[in-house]
Amino acid sequence: MSDGDLFKSDVFQRTAVDTQEISIPQFNIIIGLVLSWGFLANWIMLKYIPPSSILAIHPILFFIGYFVSCFLGIYLFNTSKNSIVSFIGYNFVVVPFGLIVNIVVSRYQPELVIEAIQITAIVTVIMMIFGTLFPKFFQAIHGPITIALLAMIVVELIQIFVFHHVPEWTDWIVVIIFCGYIGYDWGRALRIPKTVDNAVDSAAAIYMDIINLFLRILRILGRRRR
């Protein structure tokens, strides 16, 4: 399953300037640093937290903690105008996402994971470039990809609980959807006021898009290697 609009940020709706603005290069660098911290934190969790210790948690307690942490994090970076508070909220999102990544990645060979990381990085950069060059296009497709994502969530739930099998084509559709989200969110990030807090919040939203994309690419590669 993918999180998508279940954890959607409204940071990109901001127009007011509440703190001093920074330059566009500084804004982009902060986004990059915040994203890098999230991925580093996920790597640390992969290295030092055994998947068995995560799986030992009761599933109901795990998912309650997962959703509570994610929603708390999103609430903090959506409502706060303080970049430090927003960064704390970002970490409340990074940790539960990292636990999910830990469980999923443990099922695959390291070389497959590295390949998925490389593909995700390349696709992300390409979609950011497209989001910069064609912001109107991505703005126009936001409605359709949101409907498509919600439809795919329903389809996958049916596949899981009725047919007990999720076909590969669903992964490809979700990959396309999150490619659209990356381009859309990046294009919107370039249009909001350039403040440190908005940079942190933009990174948090884009981080969720990238992680969902990575998990789907990894699953596609895993299917192909069986």
Domain residue ranges in the chain: 4-8+22-224
pLDDT at 223: 85
pLDDT band at 4 (very low <50, low <70, confident <90, very high): very low
Average pLDDT over residues 171-177: 95
**Cβ 138 vs Cβ 184: under 8 Å:** yes
pLDDT at 5: 45
Positive or negative, the CA dihedral 221, 223, 224, 226 is positive
What whole-number distance in Å separates Cα of residue 56 and Cα of residue 52? 6
Examine the pLDDT at 8 and tell me if it is beyond 90: no
Average pLDDT over residues 76-96: 93
pLDDT at 123: 96
Segment among 17-26, 44-53, 195-204 with least mean pLDDT? 17-26
**Cβ 72 vs Cβ 89: under 8 Å:** yes
pLDDT band at 33 (very low <50, low <70, confident <90, very high): very high
What whole-number distance in Å separates Cα of residue 108 and Cα of residue 175? 19
Examine the pLDDT at 118 and tell me if it is beyond 60: yes
pLDDT band at 204 (very low <50, low <70, confident <90, very high): very high
C-alpha dihedral (172, 173, 179, 183), degrees to nearest 10: 160
Q: Name the residue with higher pLDDT: 34 or 192.
A: 34
Which residue, among 192, 189, 171, has the nearest Cα to 181 in the 3D structure?
189
Which residue, among 137, 153, 163, has the nearest Cα to 212 in the 3D structure?
153
First to last CA, the chain: 21
User: Helix, strand, coil shares of the chain as percentages rounded to 5?
Assistant: 80, 0, 20
Examine the pLDDT at 61 and tell me if it is beyond 60: yes
pLDDT at 30: 96
Averaged pLDDT of the chain: 89
**Cβ 48 vs Cβ 99: under 8 Å:** no
Average pLDDT over residues 190-217: 93
Q: Name the residue with higher pLDDT: 103 or 6.
A: 103
**Cβ 119 vs Cβ 148: under 8 Å:** no
